[in-house]
Structure 1
Amino acid sequence: MSFARELSRRALSIRLETVPEEAVHIGRRAFADTVGVALAGADAPYLDALEAVLECDAAPGQVTLWGRRGRRASMLHAALVNGTAAHALDFDDCSTTMGGHPSAPVVPVVLGLAEALDLPAGKALEAWITGVEVETRLARGLLPHHYEKGWHPTATLGVFGAAAAASRMFDFDEEQMATALAVTVSMASGLKSNFGTPVKPLHVGQAAHNGIMAALVTRRGMTANLEAFEHNYGFFNLFNGPGTYDADTILEGWDGQLEVLQPGIAIKQHPCCGSAHSAIDAALRIVAREGLLAADAIETIETRTHERRLAHTNRPEPRSGLDAKFSVQFLTAKALTAGRIRLGDFEDAHFLTPDVASLLPCITARAHQDADAYRGDVRVVMKDGRVFEDGASTNFGRGPANLMSDDELCDKFVDCAAASLGDKDAGDVYRAFLALDADTPIGPLMARLSGKGDA
């Protein structure tokens, strides 16, 4: 029996009527959070270029482009645009197991297909749970080597979550889903070398697009090698390498607790790379105790984060707002002097304020190899001799152990969506997401996301 078949059999065992209600509610929250950050990211200039290349205006389709001023596109093109928007601000939810962002490659798939095919919310929620379980369980057997090798798991594993979710939306049987996953093996990509550029969010759009593509061509009769994962030249051996993965771990425990429940989905509080959140939170602990620190009163700052995190966040001279999202130096300085990290901090025109610019040469970013890979420490030496130190261990966001409440998530959604929908309508749309039940039609809610302000 092929790995693709074994994985498909387990994925198809997930049924909305048998999963805990808590998992369904987490799915509703994931829909809202992903759409909210996509609405905030919908004005990214490279999305205009993407739409132009795809010629969306020349061939409008059935699926709403979130926050894109009333435009629609085909299922494939909408997945590409909405998926890219969902990761444009690096503010989407996270999974510690996956070492990436589970919902951004999957939510555009399930909501787009539900809109295009006139399917209810229950179908989309079941497909979301399936997609997230597939991508995170793949990560169980592939990380940390997969991540350390330089792959971007949100893309390279998220594409399988997207394909599995699309397979559920199309009611595939085991053979069809296995084929779609085998097709997807040849569609997986995403390199960490493009972190800090618009290509990183494009990875997510590509994963969503390719997941639907794999399901669509399978639906039309495409075949593939059902041993494409375990083949000598297959995904496991080429993307990881012999001896660096454990296929059995991926297939174990599907009759136990869902990944979406434990370790769960973490909601981001800070609109930047999750690998810097521990340093940010350590800095904010100092601010909570000492008050905001004036840049001209600081002598030196030292950060310590895990070597795996520092590898892509050691950016002492960020060149753009997007690059600054991946700079532990910039983010720590901003947290110490402003007391929070805001969406507006990364606007290219004025992201590098004079106080932060003056601090960047004073910051030393060091790596550690502690057992707690999420641990971050900050040490500040003031010019008057005082020393402030603190640390934090933030697993990319607020997860089950420190849950962000529905009200707090509403605040985040409104902050993200207000520019597109207006404050009142943003709040109404958020509440509509959290009120979704199995029979709720998705189409009317998606129509409210056009960004025309008439929700």
Structure 2
Amino acid sequence: MSTSETTENFAFAATLGLVRAVRDLQWDQAPEDAREVARHCLLDFLGVAVAGSREPLTEILVNEIVKPEGSSEAGLIGMMQRASRLSAALVNGAAAHALDFDDTHTAMGGHPSAPVIPAVLALADSAGLSGREVLEALLIGIELECRLGALMGPDHYAIGFHSTGTVGTFGAAAACAHLLRLDEDGWLRALGLAGTQAAGLKSGFGTMAKPLHAGRAASNGLFSALAARGGYTSNPEIIETAQGFAATHAGATPSREALDRFKGRFLIRETLFKYHASCYLTHAPINAAQQIRAEHHLDPKSIDEVEVRVHPALFGVCNIQEPKTGLEGKFSLRATTAMALLGEDTGNLETFSDASVTEARLVSLRDRIRVVRAEKTPPTHATVVVKSNGRIFEIESDSGQPASNLVAQRENLTRKFMTLTARILGRRHADALASAALNADQLASASKLIELTQPSDRFGGPGGINAKHQRI
């Protein structure tokens, strides 16, 4: 074995390997199922971001960050207000994750679209890029962040990092590096800058800090690519270097095998979409509880005890025992399982209001639910056992399987999108936005996507103004 081969095996060039795995991907050469899921990601992102634009955390960011800037570089989703590119990425990313209703991915260990698409849209809107360029960039960004998530392994998330904020920063940087047509050296410097800014702690779950992770990832990723274009330097081996991203964020040494096993695959195809407005790890218990209710028509008052068996990792993610707010309720296995057994619509945003999660009937059933560790159970798998009047009902569910029928997935996501947006934009306007998203590869200007998110009365949203803006 040569010296170069020995060195390469000893210290796998993970950063370079990631860049070379995705940098040359092209929209027209991707399989149609991957392209269709990319359209689904864009549609779902716009839906949750429009709805999230009405959340208090979005208003805070607009009032405290956007308004003092007075910039008009890029549009804000759901609002007439405009912002600098970096602030638009921040606000739109936070809005998209505000409801915790956006897509997720098991390889990434986080939410793939919320960090990537806001960065891409901010850059595309300010530079006059096409819808096809947006889709190609989001495809590349998601492919990179999912591969990086796999390289980092489960320890990254287990020790307390939120992959949407950390790994998502790399995805946003990669997507923007592609749009800026950076060479390989530029890509490496962009990822080096992304790695030194990547942050986000799970201890912020249940607060406004969690959606901030997505917003900062989008903004920092865009910043990294822009700075790299200007010649800003960084460590081009940021993932694998001593005291680099892998060592400090997972205590791991990236292996070539973790990257090679995805060669030729399009991981975007395995994106998982939410139909319950809560943490994705609550979905399997919700589905199991809903099935028990549907099949056995149980009176919640007759339920003596409920056992929810899940992987131990969930205890540090979504096991808030007694949520006091709707946001905390999204991260409570007990509360969400109780909602399902009570027949509450967990796809309805109003189900997760402060009043709903503290309502006496829900609290009474919630307190009869125990969450139990199941060591050999995958994180997306759950078993719900209900004991009622001497009878036992048990259902297993796994929410970790991507849809096999993309036609049905398109229909389901379109219904979800309309539920989220029609009340804000009006039905006709929402229909037009859905059509634009699902046909984005035909749009000459990606700015049309931002324009169509603006309320049909041309007002609305936090700080919304009716004004013309000029790009700079």
What TM-score bracket applies, with the shorter chain setting the length?
Answer: over 0.9
- Specify which of 410, 413, 416 is matched with residue 409 of structure 1: 413
2:48: which partner in 1? 37
- Asked if the contact 2:96–2:114 (Cα under 8 Å) also holds between the matched residues in 1, the reply is yes
Counterpart of 1:433?
A: 437
Report the Cα offset of residue 147 of structure 1: 1.2
Structure 1, unpaired ranges of 5+: none
Q: Deviations over 1:314-345 (max 9, x none)?
A: 22200110000000000000001125312111
Quick one: distance in 2 between partners of 1:226 and 1:58? 32
Match of 1:230 in 2: 240
- C-alpha deviation, 1:253, in angstroms: 4.9
* C-alpha spacing 1:454/1:399, structure 2 compared with 1 (3 Å): farther
- Aligned counterpart, 2:37: 26
CA deviation vs aligned residue, 1:299-325 (integer Å, no higher than 9, x gap): 211111111123222222001100000
Q: What does residue 376 of structure 2 align with?
A: 370
Question: TM-score, normalized by length of structure 1?
Answer: 0.93
Matched, 1:443 2:447: yes
Tell me the CA shift for residue 62 of structure 1: 2.7
- Residues 260, 58 of structure 1: alpha-carbon distance in 2 compared, 3 angstrom cutoff: closer
Instruction: Give the Cα separation in 2 of the matches to 1:198 and 1:306.
Output: 26
Give the aligned partner of residue 352 of structure 1: 358
Aligned pair count reads 446
Name the CA distance, whole Å, in 2 between partners of 1:6 and 1:24: 23
Q: Distance in 1 between matches of 2:189 and 2:342?
A: 53
Q: How does 1:16-415 map to 2 (within 5 A)?
A: 16-56=27-67, 58-68=69-79, 70-241=80-251, 244-253=252-261, 255-261=263-269, 264-291=270-297, 293-341=298-346, 342-382=348-388, 384-395=389-400, 399-401=402-404, 403=406, 404-415=408-419
* Secondary structure, aligned partner of 1:239: helix
What is the distance in 1 between the residues matched to 2:85 and 2:237? 28
- Are the aligned partners of 1:102 and 1:132 in contact in 2 as well (CA < 8 Å)? yes
Mapped partners of 1:453, 1:37: distance in 2: 20
Distance 1:424 1:357, change over 3 A: same
Return the offset for 1:58.
4.5
User: Structure 1 stretch 89-98 or stretch 21-30: which is displaced more?
Assistant: 21-30
d(CA) in 2 for partners of 1:23, 1:162: 19
Partner AA of 2:336 in structure 1: L
**Counterpart-to-counterpart distance in 2, 1:104 and 1:98:** 13
Q: Assess if the C-alpha contact under 8 Å between 2:142 and 2:268 holds in 1.
A: yes
Which structure 2 segments of 5+ residues have no match?
Answer: 1-7, 460-472
Equivalent position amino acid for 2:249 in 1: F
One-letter amino acid of the structure 2 residue matched with residue 142 of structure 1: M
Q: What RMSD, in angstroms, separates the aligned Cα atoms of the two structures?
A: 1.9
**Could you tell me which amino acid in structure 1 is paired with residue 395 of structure 2?**
D
Alpha-carbon distance between aligned partners in 2 of 1:228 and 1:290, rounded to the nearest angstrom: 54
Deviation of 1:7 (Å)? 2.4
Deviates more, 1:270-279 or 1:41-50: 41-50
Helix, strand or coil at the partner of 1:13: coil
The answer (yes or no) to whether the contact 1:167–1:180 under 8 Å persists in 2 is yes
Q: Structure 1: how far apart are the matches of 2:249 and 2:311?
A: 23
Report the 3-state secondary structure (helix = DSSP H, G, I; strand = E; otherwise coil) of the residue aligned with 1:387.
Answer: strand
Aligned equivalents of 1:214, 1:180: Cα separation in 2: 5
Are the counterparts in 2 of residues 67 and 452 from structure 1 also a CA contact under 8 Å?
A: no
CA contact (8 A) 1:44 1:88 kept: yes
Distance 1:277 1:350, change over 3 A: closer
